[in-house]
């Protein structure tokens, strides 16, 4: 592995992987592996998600978050760990912290109607919740969910090849997986003195899932922690998605691939009264996926660092740590 300290996250073209050109495909797999072993983040283009669709979803979620808190709370479901529908301001905090993040968000999961009745996973998932005030939300959110899930499957195929696994290694593990499309609103702070001194938009954290695909990632504030302890800003062009390694993939690969710590910092004081919106797709496998470290990622220089667990067990543990489940 090449040891690289990136000043910015590498940009890759997913079409190099999917176009059928063996040379380009191999080069993509190599560059992706280098990036994920060093910094855990890449920006990709030709991912299948067009700008018009993104603009439509952003317009809808801006409308939703501008509704009154009383209206939004109708769609809050703490009894399912906030895994579908609305999560109110300050309810989620980073692992190891008690101060809530300065954000509110809305979760969309698998469309139950698309899962065959013969698949037992269907009974595990709660139904999606759609705000009656926004009839157009469902169609655009589900189309983006499918598009990002498809891009994520291509990324996982490249990751599998980089790990020396069969290309479709992840395929059955993410079929109707427990993925979440999260629409986030970092709400305006009109009176910065009134919030806790240590409150930030999103405190430093690693993502729980296999990989995260982030659309509309160019707004200022997102930063990633480099191995030498330096925080670097994440910038992506409008036609790119930012795709990073999550804790489940780090666990499976015994830290060969890095789930890099990242955060969303507060804007300068004079900008605290402005909103920021962000839409990550957290790609989760099915709950029964075994996250036991791959034998090929364990050796005397890198002994096994994690206890065996399924994806479902790991997710439950982390949701409790984030304050979303009791």
Name the pLDDT band for 275 (thresholds 50, 70, 90).
Answer: confident
Element at 286 (helix H, strand E): none
User: CA-CA distance, 242 to 264, in Å (whole number)?
Assistant: 14
Is residue 131 within a helix (H) or strand (E), and if so which, with residue range? Answer: none
User: Does residue 210 carry a pLDDT above 70?
Assistant: yes
**Is residue 268 over pLDDT 80?**
no
Backbone angles phi, psi at 72, to 5 degrees: -60, -35
Please tell me the least confidently modeled range out of 69-73, 190-194, 229-233: 190-194
290 or 222, higher pLDDT: 290
Q: Which residue has the higher pLDDT, 299 or 238?
A: 299
On the question of pLDDT at 265 being above 90, the answer is no
> Which ranges of the chain does DSSP label H, i.e. alpha helix?
14-18, 22-38, 51-65, 69-73, 137-162, 171-174, 247-252, 311-321
Q: How far is residue 88's CA from residue 207's CA, in Å, rounded to a whole number?
A: 20
Please say whether the beta carbons of 323 and 91 come within 8 A. yes
Number of C-beta neighbours around residue 255 at 10 A:
15
Tell me: pLDDT of 97 over 50: yes
- Which domains occur in the chain, in start order? 11-321 (2.60.120.330)
pLDDT at 324 > cutoff 60: yes
Averaged pLDDT for residues 280-302: 95
DSSP state of 174: H
- Give dist(CA 291, CA 317) in Å, integer: 14
- Tell me the sheet residues that pair with 225: 231
First to last CA, the chain: 41
> Crossing angle for the helix pair 137-162 and 51-65, nearest 10 degrees?
120
For the chain, the farthest-separated pair of C-alpha atoms sits apart, in whole angstroms, at 58
Give DSSP secondary structure letters for 39-103: TSEEEEE--S--HHHHHHHHHHHHHHHTS-HHHHHTTB-GGGTT-SEEE-TT----TT--SPPS-
Would you say residue 310 has pLDDT above 60? yes
Tokens of 242: 């930012």
Q: What is the mean pLDDT of the chain?
A: 89
Mean pLDDT of 205-232: 83
For residue 206, what pLDDT is reported? 84
Is 10 a residue whose pLDDT tops 70? yes
Query: How many percent of the chain have pLDDT more than 70?
Result: 88
Cβ atoms of 245 and 259 closer than 8 Å: yes
15 pLDDT more than 70: yes
Has residue 82 got a pLDDT over 50? yes
Lowest average pLDDT, out of 50-54, 66-70, 78-82, 193-197, goes to 193-197
Residue with token string 């075994």: 290
Query: How many CB atoms are located within 10 Å of the residue 96 CB?
Result: 9
The whole model's pTM is what?
A: 0.91
Mean pLDDT confidence for 218-238 = 80
pLDDT at 100: 64
Residue 188 near residue 240 (C-beta atoms within 8 A): no
Say what the pLDDT of residue 200 is: 64
């Amino acid at each position: 592995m090449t040891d690289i300290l990136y000043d910015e996250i590498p940009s890759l073209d997913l079409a190099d992987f999917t176009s059928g050109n063996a040379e380009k495909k191999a080069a993509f797999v190599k560059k992706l592996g280098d990036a994920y072993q060093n910094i855990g983040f890449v920006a990709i283009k030709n991912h299948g998600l067009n700008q018009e669709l993104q603009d439509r979803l952003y317009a809808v979620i801006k409308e939703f978050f501008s509704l009154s808190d009383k209206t939004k709370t109708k769609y809050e479901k703490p009894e399912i760990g906030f895994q579908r529908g609305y999560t109110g301001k300050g309810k989620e905090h980073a692992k190891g912290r008690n101060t809530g993040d300065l954000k509110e968000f809305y979760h969309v999961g698998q469309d139950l109607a698309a899962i065959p009745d013969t698949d037992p996973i269907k009974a595990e998932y709660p139904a999606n919740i759609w705000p009656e005030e926004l009839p157009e939300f469902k169609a655009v959110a589900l189309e983006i969910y499918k598009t990002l899930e498809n891009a994520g499957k291509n990324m996982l195929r490249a990751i599998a090849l980089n790990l020396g696994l069969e290309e479709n290694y992840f395929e059955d593990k993410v079929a109707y997986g427990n993925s979440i499309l999260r629409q986030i609103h970092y709400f305006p702070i009109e009176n910065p003195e009134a919030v806790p001194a240590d409150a930030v938009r999103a405190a430093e954290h690693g993502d729980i899932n296999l990989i995260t695909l982030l659309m509309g990632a160019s707004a200022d504030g997102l930063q990633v922690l480099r191995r030498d302890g330096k925080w670097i800003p994440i910038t992506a062009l409008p036609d790119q998605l930012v795709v990073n390694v999550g804790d489940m993939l780090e666990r499976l690969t015994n830290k060969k691939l890095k789930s890099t710590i990242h955060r969303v910092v507060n804007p300068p004081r004079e900008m605290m009264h402005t909103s920021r919106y962000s839409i990550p797709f957290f790609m989760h496998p099915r709950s029964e996926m075994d996250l036991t470290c791959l034998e090929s990622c364990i050796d005397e220089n890198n002994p096994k660092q994690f206890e065996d667990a399924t994806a479902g067990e790991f997710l439950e543990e982390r949701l409790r740590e984030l304050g979303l489940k009791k």
